[in-house]
Structure 1
Amino acid sequence: MNTQEKKITAVESPTLYAEIRDYKIAYRSIGNGPPFILLNRFRGNLDDWDPAFLDALAKKHTVYTFNYKGLASSTGSPHETILGFAKDAIDLADTLKIDKFILGGWSLGGWAAQVATTEFPERISHTILIGTKPPGKVNYPLEEIFIKTAYIPDYTLEHEMILFFEPTSEISRNAAIKSHERINQRKEKDPKVKQELWEYYGKAHEDYANDPYGARNKMMTTRIPILIISAHHEVCFPPENWFELNQKLSTAQLITIPQAGHGPHHQYPEMITSYIETFIKNT
């Protein structure tokens, strides 16, 4: 008799809850292998990761996605500092008895990932940053169209093309359609982050830009391997902000994807996963 269990895919994965002091963190888990915890973007909930990207990572890792405290299906009061967002990953790992793990962050999640990397370096083996910016002040701001679109209450496919893809590229537009279809395959839906809670992201951004933790300087001295994945036309966090630090971040490698936007892992889930796996294997 074949006793091998059917692998749970990202679309099928149930929502679980980690008890952390007086609140609960909602999370999902798929795959087997070294733990890989992912930190989400502005307004992102458990459903906003492309399942093709999660399934690709889960071929070699146990992949964890979660909602920050107080947002979407997690309970409690939301954080007002980026350190609070970062510590959610550590608290989740503690509750699940995970000692050391790979940490990935997309957009705002990339800010939290960098602060977690510099504040809790003993817990993290590798850091993967997607579509994000370094701590502190940066010289290349986001484009106005991103701000106008990011605060629209309900995204359509056209909004997603602007926010996460490259609308001038037919390749990217077609990829956006496929990603949108994959994300919407899920039947068990996670609650959206309520609009009245969006202000907490703004507070976290101000904290991150002021960098009271000295994360920018700590990034320059860390021994943790860091992979930065960006796009040639990033409407949110231009890769030029990383170019300025290239010679100072001794463990960091930067990849920029042509004809892509703020969500390259949704446009090329298998390819981006391949880059991540190669980086982890060789660093």
Structure 2
Amino acid sequence: MPQLAVDGAGMTYDDEGPHDGDGGVPLVFIHGWTADRHRWDHQMAHFADKRRVVRLDLRGHGESGGSARTIDELAGDVIALLDHLEIDRFIPVGHSMGGMIAQTLALAHPERIERLVLVNSISRMTYSRGRGLLMAASTLVPFKLFVAANIQRAFAPGHPREEVREYIRASSATPRDVVMTYYAAMRSFDVLDRVGEIRMPTLLVHGYYDIQLPVSQMLRMAKDYPDAVVRIVDAGHELPVEKPAELTSALDRFVTGQVGGVQLVG
């Protein structure tokens, strides 16, 4: 896999699909906390036949080294990669923490972003009592148990257990210092009062059963977006892998201008 050196560490990425621009503005997929670029396998396979698609392992995740301290730094990594690839305008597609990075990009570089897609993401971190207790317990329980509890909660009830276990194993490979540093970065992330500045068309896709970042929190920010489409899907927090076909379809229709209004998907 190709890598770009960022602060002395290699950042792994994929750059696929036609580079001639005929398929439209490139899509840039940004994964979430303790995940990696393979969360987007379904979407990459679908779009690579017709447009340029880029995805990356954020610092300290997947096959990328190093770490960062803030969401702003991670957004800077995305811009560094796109500059390296000579991509000017793009459509960021961010899941969870990746959605925070995407919003940061939209606010800092609006001239470069054609459309914005946020999947199971919010503009201000507000944890439920249960999530707060889980995070407080992070220093009292073995790290792998802490990660397992977070990932287990991320999936909607009834999701295949073996698949959940596979994602627990993958997430447990993320170094503890990276996990906790990025948790602090998410806790300090707050652009809720600025979402009205994000004036490009925006797709907000959220799982109805998301207890990590509840749908009510997404709707709180959605009302302030000047040009937003909301899709609610029968899934939990891990929408890209729980309902990949539904997400891909919603994304496909949005980037081609076929979607409008609030929609519910069963």
Shorter-chain TM-score category?
A: 0.7 to 0.9
Name the TM-score, length of structure 1 as normaliser: 0.74
Tell me: CA distance 1:153–1:251, structure 2 relative to 1, closer, same or farther (3 Å).
same
Instruction: Measure, in 1, the Cα distance between the counterparts of 2:76 and 2:87.
Output: 14
- 8 Å contact from structure 2 (residues 119, 205) kept in 1: yes
Look up the match of 1:206: 187
Extract unaligned runs of 5+ from structure 2: 259-266
Extract unaligned runs of 5+ from structure 1: 1-14, 184-188
Alignment of 1:176-195 (within 5 A): 192-195=173-176
The answer on 1:141 being equivalent to 2:128 is yes
Aligned-pair CA distance for 1:19 = 3.5
Q: Secondary structure at the match of 1:235?
A: coil
CA deviations 1:254-281 (Å, max 9, x no partner) are: 11112x1011221222221111111111
Tell me: CA distance 1:74–1:146, structure 2 relative to 1, closer, same or farther (3 Å).
farther
Aligned-pair CA distance for 1:20 = 4.4
Q: Secondary structure at the match of 1:271?
A: helix
- 8 Å contact from structure 2 (residues 147, 172) kept in 1: no
Q: Secondary structure at the match of 2:203?
A: strand
Look up the match of 1:27: 13
- 8 Å contact from structure 1 (residues 26, 66) kept in 2: yes
Look up the match of 1:56: 46
Q: Secondary structure at the match of 1:125?
A: coil
Look up the match of 1:264: 239
Percent identity over the alignment is: 21
Look up the match of 1:40: 31
Look up the match of 1:243: 219
Instruction: Measure, in 2, the Cα distance between the counterparts of 1:73 and 1:191.
Output: 13
Q: Secondary structure at the match of 1:282?
A: coil
Q: Secondary structure at the match of 2:221?
A: coil
Name the TM-score, length of structure 2 as normaliser: 0.79
More helix by share: 2
Tell me: CA distance 1:256–1:25, structure 2 relative to 1, closer, same or farther (3 Å).
same
The answer on 1:88 being equivalent to 2:77 is yes
CA deviations 1:19-63 (Å, max 9, x no partner) are: 44644321123333431111111111234x152232123233322
Look up the match of 2:112: 123
Tell me: CA distance 1:124–1:143, structure 2 relative to 1, closer, same or farther (3 Å).
farther
Q: Which amino acid aligns with 1:221?
A: E
